[in-house]
Amino acid sequence: MPDNRMHIALFGPPGAGKSTQSKFLLKRWPIVSLSTGKMLREEAAAGTELGLKVRELLGRGELVDDETMIATIRKWLENLPPDKGFLLDGFPRTIPQAEALDEILNELGRPLTGVVNLKLSVSEAVYRLGGRRICYGAGPEEIIHINDEEAVDRCLARGGLLVQRADDLPNVIVKRLNVYEGETEPLLAYYRPHNIVLTVDASGDPEAVAQRIVFGFEKK
């Protein structure tokens, strides 16, 4: 498969390392990553008609509705250079979004070539997220793990504080994982008949996980 035909949707539960894998894959293939949050903020800042609607919704603290989200995704994809593939992280989240995405991509002649499904056990997710801390108050915030003694010592030596996010408490993590599973399984069922779902073990070294993704596509 030509590298510029890599059109990927990336799924993975909290703690699976989606952002880390995105960075690896951007180095491996000539693709552009779409962060839905960043895209919405940029559209709002641009002050376009669509951006003003996004700005209004975000200003009220409301979730962006499917119609607005899909219109924003369409605009982004229509402006994507033909020599670039893409990586979608955070979209689609529902079956209607997936159906709308398929319609847009078929119109553009750029259908999804892969759905990467990162798998991580509950115990590993709780370990990763439950041990995650933010080094706060000592320059740029840094995310570290409480078991990384070198990183912890470095933070404390700079006068930083180790802060745990409220959504990284174990009971909250389990709830987040359950919500993710409920949202994502119907999407995977939607895509499986198209034979584009690549399930990858997300445990272990991040570089090894990235190699599993690349190897899985090379076998297709």
- Give the domain ranges of the chain: 3-219
| 136, β-bridge pairs | 161
d(Cα 67, Cα 104) in Å, to the nearest integer?
13
Lowest mean per-residue pLDDT among 103-107, 140-144, 199-203 = 140-144
Q: How confident is the model at residue 186 (pLDDT cuts 50, 70, 90)?
A: very high
Q: How confident is the model at residue 90 (pLDDT cuts 50, 70, 90)?
A: confident
Catalytic residues: 18, 93, 132, 165, 176
Q: How many CB atoms lie within 10 A of CB 29?
A: 21
Q: What number of other Cβ atoms are within 10 A of residue 208's Cβ?
A: 10
Chain mean position to CA 199: 15
Show the beta-strand stretches assigned E in 16-103. 31-35, 85-89
pLDDT score recorded for residue 139: 86
pTM here is: 0.83
Which among 177, 175, 149 is positioned nearest to 162, based on CA atoms? 149
Q: Can you give the C-alpha Rg of the chain in angstroms?
A: 19
Q: What is the CATH number of domain 3-219?
A: 3.40.50.300
Chain centroid, CA 28 distance in Å = 17
What is the structure's pLDDT at 148?
95
Note the pLDDT tens digit of each residue in 20-73.
999 999 999 989 998 777 777 787 888 888 778 878 877 776 667 888 888 888
For residues 11-28, average pLDDT: 91
Q: Which residue has the tokens 């990586």?
A: 87
